[in-house]
Amino acid sequence: MNFEYFLAKRLIKGEAHKISISAPIIKIAIAAIALGLVMMLVAIASGVGLKYKIREKVAAFNGHIQISNYDNNASDVSVVPLSINQDFYPRFDNVEGIDHIQAVASKGGIIRTEDTFEGILAKGVGKDYNWGAFEEYLVDGNLPDYSGELNSQVLMSSLMANRLKLGTGDSFYAFFLKDDDPSKLPNQRKFTITGLYDSGFEEFDGVYLFTDIRHVQRMNKWGEDQIGNFEVFLNSFDDLQEKSNEIYGKTLSTLDTQTIVDKYYKIFEWIGLFDFNIFLIIGIVIIVSGFNMITALLVLILERTPMIGILKALGSANWSIRKVFLYNASYLIGIGLFWGNLIGLGAIYLQSEFRVLKFPNPEEYYIDYIPVYIDVPTVVLLNVAVLLLCMLMLLVPSYIITKITPVKAIQFE
- Between 20 and 179, the more confident residue is 179
Domain end marker among 253, 278, 306 = 253
Question: Band of the pLDDT at 357, cuts 50, 70, 90?
Answer: very high
Range of the domain at 338: 3-56+268-411
Q: Report helix, strand or coil for 321.
A: helix
- Residue ending a domain, among 196, 230, 253, is 253
Say how many domains are in the chain.
2
In a domain, 64, yes or no: no
Inform me whether the pLDDT recorded for 13 exceeds 80.
no
pTM, 2 dp: 0.87
Query: What's the pLDDT score for residue 412?
Result: 54
Residue-wise pLDDT for 318-348, tens only, equals 989 999 989 989 999 999 999 999 999 999 9
- Determine how β-strand 208-212 pairs with β-strand 255-259: unpaired
Q: Are residues 321 and 382 in the same domain?
A: yes
Residue 272 has pLDDT above 60, yes or no: yes
Domain finish residue from 229, 253, 277: 253
Is the distance from CB of 307 to CB of 17 less than 8 angstroms?
Answer: no
The string of DSSP codes covering 143-201 is: ----SSS---EEEEEHHHHHHHT--TT-EEEEEE--SS-TTSPPEEEEEEEEEEE--S-
Co-location of 106 and 240 in the same domain: yes
Residues 238 and 292 in one domain: no
Based on the domain organization, do 225 and 280 belong to the same domain? no
The proportion of the chain whose per-residue pLDDT surpasses 70, expressed as a percent, equals 94
In a domain, 66, yes or no: no
**In a shared domain, residues 113 and 223:** yes
How confident is the model at residue 228, as a pLDDT?
94
